[in-house]
A and B are shown apart, each in its own frame.
Chain A
Amino acid sequence: MSESKKITVATTWLDGCSGCHMSLLDIDERLIELAQQVDIVYSPLVDGKHLPETVDVGIIEGSVSNEEDLAKAREFRRHCKYLISLGDCAVTGNVPAMRNLFPLDSVYDRAYQENVQHNPLRPNDGVPALLDVVKPVHAVVPVDLHVPGCPPSADTIWFVLSQLLEGRVPNPNEVTRFGA
């Protein structure tokens, strides 16, 4: 690819519901405008590329709940110059972190022993183990900007992205709040 001046953006979801990514898609026709200004180099929304060596802006949805989430958060931090925690799950742990109140075994057992009629067992063949404690992203890697909301509205996401594109540091508190 030719070297473009476009800002590169990578997005990923860890333990979230994908609602924050849906909210990003809800910028609707502004997606076309966005595509003219940024290159989404890595995301569920585009055909994947490897996370390039350096990415200008990384956006993480979801909390850190299993071993793969942890590896992915670290990978994003390594490769992204500016890292955003998008949505309450990434910012606080939110809904996924509700399982922290229960012993891990009981969480597995409800799903894979009690509510099963055939072959109850705990999946363990090539699936990542859950961490004992669900954490927000900034508990495992430093984060540059927190954007709360469940999910942050499309306008909030657009505000954050357009401020960044104009070279400003956005203040999301003007446009969103926890649980918004």
Chain B
Amino acid sequence: MSRTIAIEPVTRIEGHARITLQLNDEGRVDDARFHLTQFRGFEKFCEGRPYREMPALTARTCGICPVSHLLTSAKACDELLSVKIPPAAEKLRRVMNLAQLVQSHALSFFHLSSPDLLLGWDSDPARRNIFGVMTENPAMAKDGIRLRQIGQSIIEMLGGKKVHPNWAVPGGIAQPLSEETRDAMRKLLPEGLVIAKRTYAFYKKLIPQFAKEAETFGNFPTMFLSLVNAKGNLEHYDGWIRIKDAKGDIVEDMVPTDEYPRIIGEAVEPFSYMKFPYYKPHGYPRGIYRVGPLARLNNCNSCGTPFADVALAEFRTLQESQPVASSFHYHYARLVEIIYALESMDRLLRDPDIMATRIRARARSNRDEGIGIAEAPRGLLIHHYRIDDDGLMTWMNLIIATGHNNLAMNQGVKQVAQEYVDGSKLQEGMLNRVEAVIRCFDPCLSCASHAFGQMPIHVELRNAEGHLVDQLKRG
């Protein structure tokens, strides 16, 4: 008799996400599903609005990575204008994008994941949060708060606000950089780099403890998709799409971002509001791939900044001669990227060109279709717009970073559930692991819904008649 277990985060994720596990006759997990239960409708309700509103409006998709939406939208609008934006504007957009990478990765690592890593998967759930870390390891908590603050402060210095700055505009950015602002930003970077390196060294020592997690937390072969720059190096703002397979062979390379519809398709499943992107030539669901920090580090030839390249070489020893397959190592990849972002910002801010006062190309709309693509902290983000002759939006498609990982998150949940769930009885530890695998991906469900942090979970085990056999509440 087959049964279903529903893992229901009834509270602050406000049921935006839910997991169900299908058990077979032997009480083993047959299938697992990760349900996203929030849908907002941006692609429709932006219709009829002037395209110039899109950067500020679509940023409201997500308060965790608003800069990604702001910039990707502005890039789609640059295409509508048919302009190449001034170099200073591009460089400053890159700075803001990297600042966001720092704050978002810091949030994921310190505020959300470090409680598991430091206090343990089976520690008291009431204390397993950033406030628990504050008592257990105050220095680490302070580092996390400060590193996130450095990222947020640079965003604020450039755009006037930490969350939702109205700064990137079609054709460029709103204001040129002042010397005071540049100097103030540069002053923050050394401290950030010290924190980032310290955390990286600390985590490297911790890693051997997590061998079991690394083996089972979403550890399976998939393709990896990311942007790379002209040299095939790490890239977050522009560039071309590269796809590698699980063995590390290149499947697609230097694909201009405008050609994304050829390689990326979207599928729907009845159980989730989050769609399932897939690699079109392989079909659905065989065309599974992963995006985000893990994919970017697996795909790039090098980072291109000194310390990040040292860290990248160490990252690659996690798995010999193949892309790193375990989703657990998203954590590791995030720390490498924080270092990269701080080093890159420093390089950009030393460039005298960045002070140029020409920061905006002015034009009216010259095309009726525009595609903007960038790497958000969690992976490739696509904004695709069409407008009419009056510059009003007629159609929009958004493919959100977290969405690309949807197939992989489902498979990861299944893998962990098969490892840890014994259908005859439910254990707290099982719940921790099932939610932890999702946390590895750092899903920004805000973009596609909302969910972050530690999910309060309610698991019900029901028999075929729907009677409650067992239940477990965490949270």
Q: Bound complex: CA of A111 vs CA of B274, how far in Å?
A: 10
Q: Is B267 an interface residue (CB 8 A)?
A: yes
- Is there an interface contact between B62 and A48, defined as CB atoms closer than 8 Å? no
Q: Bound complex: CA of A42 vs CA of B125, how far in Å?
A: 12
Q: Bound complex: CA of A72 vs CA of B9, how far in Å?
A: 13
Q: Bound complex: CA of A115 vs CA of B99, how far in Å?
A: 32
Residues of chain B within 8 A of A50, CB atoms compared: 11, 456, 473, 475
- Is there an interface contact between B162 and A154, defined as CB atoms closer than 8 Å? yes
Q: State the main secondary structure of chain B at its contact with A.
A: loop
Q: Is B468 an interface residue (CB 8 A)?
A: no
- Please name the residue on chain A nearest to B61 by beta carbon: A17
- Is there an interface contact between A45 and B269, defined as CB atoms closer than 8 Å? no
Q: Is B66 an interface residue (CB 8 A)?
A: yes
Q: Is B39 an interface residue (CB 8 A)?
A: yes
Residues of chain B within 8 A of A11, CB atoms compared: 12
Tally A-B pairs: CB < 8 A. 217
Partner of A127, one of B142, B272, B397, B473: B272
Partner of A46, one of B38, B131, B275: B131
Chain B 244-286 against A: per-residue CB contact (8 Å), 1 yes, 0 no?
0000000000000000000001111111110100101001100
Q: Is B129 an interface residue (CB 8 A)?
A: yes
Residues of chain A within 8 A of B20, CB atoms compared: 126
Q: Bound complex: CA of A108 vs CA of B446, how far in Å?
A: 18
- Is there an interface contact between A46 and B107, defined as CB atoms closer than 8 Å? no
Q: A interface, how many residues as a size bin?
A: 35 or more
Q: Bound complex: CA of A96 vs CA of B39, how far in Å?
A: 10
Chain A 3-23 against B: per-residue CB contact (8 Å), 1 yes, 0 no?
000000001111111111111
- Is there an interface contact between B456 and A49, defined as CB atoms closer than 8 Å? yes
Residues of chain A within 8 A of B457, CB atoms compared: 48
Residues of chain A within 8 A of B13, CB atoms compared: 44
Chain B 191-224 against A: per-residue CB contact (8 Å), 1 yes, 0 no?
0000000000000000000000000000000000
- Is there an interface contact between B60 and A126, defined as CB atoms closer than 8 Å? no
Residues of chain B within 8 A of A81, CB atoms compared: none
- Is there an interface contact between A127 and B456, defined as CB atoms closer than 8 Å? no
Residues of chain A within 8 A of B15, CB atoms compared: 68, 72, 128
Q: With both chains docked as a complex, state the minimum distance between the C-beta of B119 and any C-beta of chain A, in angstroms.
A: 10
Q: Is B454 an interface residue (CB 8 A)?
A: yes
Chain A 103-128 against B: per-residue CB contact (8 Å), 1 yes, 0 no?
00011101110011111110111111
Q: With both chains docked as a complex, state the minimum distance between the C-beta of B128 and any C-beta of chain A, in angstroms.
A: 5
Of listed A40, A107, A119, A127, residue having the most chain B CB within 10 A: A127
Partner of A45, one of B35, B111, B161, B272: B111
In A21-70, which residues have CB < 8 Å from any B CB? Answer: 21-23, 25-26, 28-29, 31-32, 35, 40, 42-51, 65-66, 68-69
Q: Is B227 an interface residue (CB 8 A)?
A: no
- Is there an interface contact between B107 and A43, defined as CB atoms closer than 8 Å? no
